[in-house]
Amino acid sequence: MARLELKAVDKCFGAVSCAKGVSLTVEPGEIVAVFGPSGSGKTVLLRMIAGMFEPDDGDILVGGRSIVDAPPEQRGIGMAFQNFALFPHMSARDNIASGLRATGASDIAAKVTAMSRLLKIEHVLGHRPRELSNGQKQRTALARALIGNPEVLLLDDPLRNVDAKLRYEMRLELPSLLRRSSAAALYVTQDYREAMAIADRIAVLINGRLVQVARPEEIYARPASVAVARLFGDPSINLSEVSPVADQGRLTAAIAGTEIMLDRNERETSTRQRCWLGVRPDDVVVTRQNSGGAIPARVVAITPMHERAVLLLRFADGSEWLAAMAPEALEAGADEEVFVQFAPEAALLFDHASGERIGLPPRRQAA
């Protein structure tokens, strides 16, 4: 099988730049999620690989061979589209078989049956796309993308238009399905959970630039910038402006007037440099007794969210944080005075101007 390589790919549409020097390598059998907010250029990137757009600059290689000048039908690519893009005038069987027919493969019927069994759609093979449910449509589209055993698989937010239950089902099924084919797979999504569930690595794309490419837990624990930190995590990360002070091997910062101990002085932080301090809501500990060094706060509201309780906390200076915990661990009720703490190693520091993370906090488990 072949590896997919993007080399410094640039693409503009008029004044809008959709890809700026994007370089990425996907090994055969690897699933890389391209994750980013809408309009960040994810789909354009996929379409350049598929041959619908040509890159302005840079190169795209499959198995070391440039495919930039090849027409789509000669690129050896399978693709699943967000809107399914099934051929409405053909049965599901013909939809799936369309790729095999073009190459003149043998025993088409057997291959289609095997693939449809794998995707649990054998019973609807005779149906036209309009007679299929959204889930069946998506499975048909995936079967069509997978059946030709392509060297590169592109999945453009394939679970966007299916309902929540199916989405969870497919999140569990997809990784093994994709790995069977040992293709280099690029999976575009706007949902960080989906990216973390499916991908071996995640490429975070913001405004046409790859900001971070790393394993899912790495991105969650050590986001490269404030923007990445914000995109991963729900409820999203708490951010406060601080000016850390290094003193006698200790790093401290004031949040809402309370001195908080940060990590040991391993960070290359000069004192008085303004920073963003980020703490994930899951790492925030809320207690009713002040065991020293905690920030006083008031619980403004409590909302259940994804089997967790999310607390909206307001500090004395008016700034607000979120804390997330299991409902059993909830000590305080709404409108109560509480104390907020977090482990020093849970704190992430980002440069105030560039948004980039400062120093390397020690590794820890992803929540």
User: In this chain, which stretch among 82-90, 171-179, 208-216, 298-306 interacts with other proteins, using CB under 8 A?
Assistant: 82-90
Exactly one of 2, 6, 44, 50 binds other proteins (CB under 8 A); that residue is 50
Which of 86, 112, 159, 284 binds other proteins (CB under 8 A)? It is 86
Contacts to other proteins from residues 231-250, by CB under 8 A: none
CB of 124 or CB of 229, closer to other proteins: 124
Residue 130, exposed/middle/buried by CB under 10 A (0-12, 13-18, 19+)? exposed
Contacts of 101 (CB under 8 A, 6+ apart): 108
Range in contact with other proteins (rule: CB under 8 A) among 16-24, 129-137, 255-263, 279-287: 129-137
Cα(23)–Cα(25) distance, integer angstroms: 7
58 belongs to the binding site for other proteins (CB under 8 A): no
Q: Is 311 in the site for other proteins (CB under 8 A)?
A: no
Terminal alpha carbon distance of the chain: 35
Are 231 and 219 in contact by the 8 Å Cβ rule? The answer is no
Q: Which of 36, 41, 55, 78 binds other proteins (CB under 8 A)?
A: 78
CB of 73 vs other proteins, minimal distance in Å: 5
Neighbours of 335 (CB within 10 A): 10
238-242 and 275-279 beta bridge pairing: antiparallel
From 133, 98, 128, select the one nearest 112 (Cα to Cα): 98
Question: C-beta of 9: minimal distance to other proteins in Å?
Answer: 19
Minimal distance, residue 67 CB to other proteins, in Å: 12
12-38 b/e (C-beta count within 10 Å ≥ 16 → b) = eeeeeebbbebebebbbbbbbbbbbee
The residues of the shown chain that bind other proteins, judged by CB under 8 A, are 47, 50-52, 71-73, 75, 77-79, 81, 83-89, 98-99, 102-103, 129-130, 132-134, 137, 141, 144, 148, 161
